[in-house]
Amino acid sequence: MIAQDQTYTADKLVALVRAYNPRTNEALLRTAYAFGEEMHSGQFRQSGEPYFTHPIAVAAILASQQMDDATIITALLHDTIEDTKASYKDVETLFGHDVAELVDGVTKLTNIQLTSTQSKQAENFRKLFMAMSRDLRVILVKLADRLHNMRTIKSMRAEKQAQKARETMDIYAPLAGRMGMQWMREELEDLAFKVLNPEARNSIMRRFIMLQKETGDVIPKITADMRIELEKANIQADVYGRAKKPYSIWRKMQEKDQGFSRLSDIYGFRVITQTEADCYKVLGAIHQRWRAVPGRFKDYISQPKSNGYRSIHTTVSGRDGKRVEVQIRTREMHEVAEAGVAAHWSYKNGERVENRFAVDPVRWIAQLTERLDQEDDHHEFLEAVKLEMYQDQVFCFTPKGDVIKLPRGATPIDFAYAIHTRIGAKCVGAKVDGLRVPLWTRLKNGQSIEIIIADGQKPEVTWIDIAVTGRAKAAIRRALRAEDRERFIKLGRELARVAFENVGKKATDKALSTAAKTLVLEDVDELLAQLGSAEITSREVVRAIYPELAERKGEEVDTSRAVVGLSGDQSYRRAPCCQPVPGERIVGITFRGQGVVVHAIDCQALADFEDQAERWIDLHWQDGVHSAVNTVTLDMTISNDAGVLGRICTIIGEQDANISDLNFIDRKPDFFRLYIDVDLRDVEHLHRVMTALEAESNVSAIKRLRDPRRGAKAKEDRT
């Protein structure tokens, strides 16, 4: 258990330490307690409590991590040199050189504003970091100190709360995570999140409570399910479950650009085994029972992290289709996972234990500082230290030494646009640490990037897929749109002609001018350019003038009743992953409050619902003539020659089909690959259109696009 805030007398604190270390120097602990209490006498915290309650709480946090006597004593004394009349010599005389050095190291860290980059403060940070490399317990005490301050932050002024919370989020939480103390990182992040964005945190908490009311507490249910499977496999293990912290949930929402209702893996489970072999047996048992989520498996047992962390991570679709993350490890691995680098000092049954998985702190800090201690510039050193703390961002350097912060996965294209839009637009290549690399190279922390430019260069279409940052993507799209405007206008005119002819009208200049005014566009050219670049659809243009024709339905079959097998109050929609059309065998999947989603019987996305038979509905299409309102996406590769695209549009129009959208996927000197959304009546109509297109010599490949990922996204939207 992690010690929460409470009042500890000397007797209680000694008892807490003795529980895991019977050989503790009780007399020295009591002396440190008395000395700290005397030095802080008459001092009070912002909350009005005696100040010494803070060092006691810090000591209790470290005792809960089963730290050695020197660390506990340092916690009790960590503010004495800074805030009282006690001197370094006093502490050294009473408690020895090691404790005095530890207290002095914590004092130096406390005096440094880590969010500043002034030369003096950077140099102080450098000295402290080097001191930390001599004894890592300095930072352990400081992390516990920051944790207690964040737990009691409400008594501070609002601006001070924001400063401390930001510093915690930027420096201390990532540092705790880097050291393997994940529980501390999560708590520090959540406490800082509570200060920096209380509305977002409260919103997540409210939604989580609502979810529990709707579904009940699923944690004990899933835990019980796992225990049953492990018993069947004759595996002895402990299973624990928990909901993820609000900040962790919020960060996932930001990273995936999803709302709370679309997040599925908000529960985490740990399975603690007796042996390493059992870890893999547990993995097999879980994967046999539940479907594993592709791309979410990591084996940190065979490939441990640098801080000693070992565990197997997997994500499965559990009860009711909810995704749950499962971590599997042995008891020894779990101790390191909880304590991180601090596991080196841990006690067990009164003895200092040698956990074979605990990383040597001296070796670990040496690896961390190997390249940092060679920096001569104070500013570069401070930034270099910070970049080592971050896990979700990349810090790279310009040739002049300026630091550019980018999201993980960023490329030289992102780096170039981060410097200046003009540099990005003229980029023709990049050097990373002096070596020429492709523009799609993923940048890493600490690399030096040199962008090679040329005056004649312009942004290329493929850069959109290479870039990661919104700034780069937006700039590339603007440049491409300006360059391709004339071509888009020509394409838009052809699309408009086909769309208007499909409803028995002509795309005259007057009609197009009227459509532009209705859609609040500047002029006809802007209308055609947006139509050609797929920013608006041909259906929208036709609807602007002839709404009754654009929405015209078939006479024989009402589209609202095109599917047979639904109850009177059920609505339906076609699944975007398989886009079923009349004439194909179909099945329905129910979604609470969202009606029924209709899939083709051979849709790969149906595998996700194999264990939920109660949600399946047997459906079929209504007999008769259906309206051409069923959109199907065609994946086509065509020759990059003059007039080819216009000919394709004409062929589709000749088959009484309407193009509702068009999107270029790839442009090469000799071919285009594009997705065309075509509105069709039924499967026979689809086959007729595809046959006509296949007969065109300039069409090198055509297929119906069926993408299970579209189905997964739609499922997340509704669950």
Active site amino acids: 82-83
Query: From start to end of 8-139, where are the E strands?
Result: none
The upper half-sphere exposure of residue 649, i.e. CA atoms within 13 Å in the direction of its Cβ, equals: 23
Tokens representing 69 are 């006597």
Closest by CA to 709, choosing from 604, 619, 620, 595, is 604
683 CB burial (10 A radius; 0-12, 13-18, 19+): middle
Q: Which residue stretches of 135-275 are H helix?
A: 137-151, 158-167, 173-178, 182-196, 198-215, 218-232, 246-256
Nearest Cα residue to 671 out of 651, 648, 687, 653: 648
The span from the CA of 94 to the CA of 391, in Å, is: 41
Helix (H/G/I), strand (E/B), else coil: 451:
strand
Could you tell me whether strands 595-600 and 572-574 are parallel, antiparallel, or unpaired per DSSP bridges?
A: parallel
Residue 612, Cβ neighbours under 10 Å: how many?
A: 12
Rounded to a whole number, what is the largest CA-CA distance in the chain?
99
Strand ranges (DSSP E) for 408-512?
427-432, 435-437, 449-453
Burial of 380 (0-12, 13-18, 19+ CB in 10 A): middle
> How many CB atoms neighbour CB 267 within 10 A?
20
Q: Which tokens sit at 318?
A: 């559990």
How far is 175 from 342, CA to CA, in rounded Å? 13
Residue 401 amino acid letter: G
Closest CA to 462 of 666, 670, 673, 639: 666
CA distance 2 to 588: 49
Token pair listed for 480: 């491409």
C-alpha span between 603 and 610 (Å, rounded): 12
